[in-house]
Amino acid sequence: MVKMVKLTNHAAFTVRLQFIYEDSEGRKIHTGGTGNILAGSSKTVNPGDYGVPEGAKFHVYASVVAGKDKVSCEEFLYSSTANIGVEMKTTGTTLINKLVFVEYFQVYGNCEEVMKNEIHIDDFKSMQECNDSEIDSQSNCKCVR
């Protein structure tokens, strides 16, 4: 289960982060999404803020401005109470590009801590919660070690 999605734009284009989820009747619903994420930038969001309902299966959708859009191969399950986020990245140019899975990260409330290794439940039990002194206001409350 995933609570947050981070899209890092390593590409030579502008992208918008959106989602495609499956509703209770099995229909694919394409949500609206973020504003522009410029080359070299990233954005972390809660899919629920963009219409993905609790418990829905969803894919990350990269809407490439003036280019070819991409949908993640990976499917995630949204939970507003989960403590896991996922980072995806875009690479390439407007017409030849990729959207790829990077890593999972730990979420503490609105804070995130990047997990460099494969996630195991035991790893989360041993991690410390963020202190107010660790908050970086420019990165949407990203915890630092």
CATH class in words for 4-139: mainly beta
CA distance to 55, 99, 100, per residue, from 116 (Å): 26, 19, 16
Confidence category of residue 27, pLDDT binned at 50, 70, 90: very high
pLDDT in tens, 33-61: 999 999 999 999 999 999 999 999 999 99
Residue 99 CA to residue 61 CA, distance in Å, equals: 8
User: Under a CB-based contact definition with an 8 Å cutoff, are residues 73 and 22 in contact?
Assistant: no
Residue ranges of domains in the chain: 4-139
pLDDT in tens, 96-142: 999 999 999 998 755 544 443 333 333 333 333 333 333 333 333 34
Which pLDDT does position 6 carry in this prediction?
A: 96
Give the predicted TM-score (pTM) of the model. Answer: 0.76
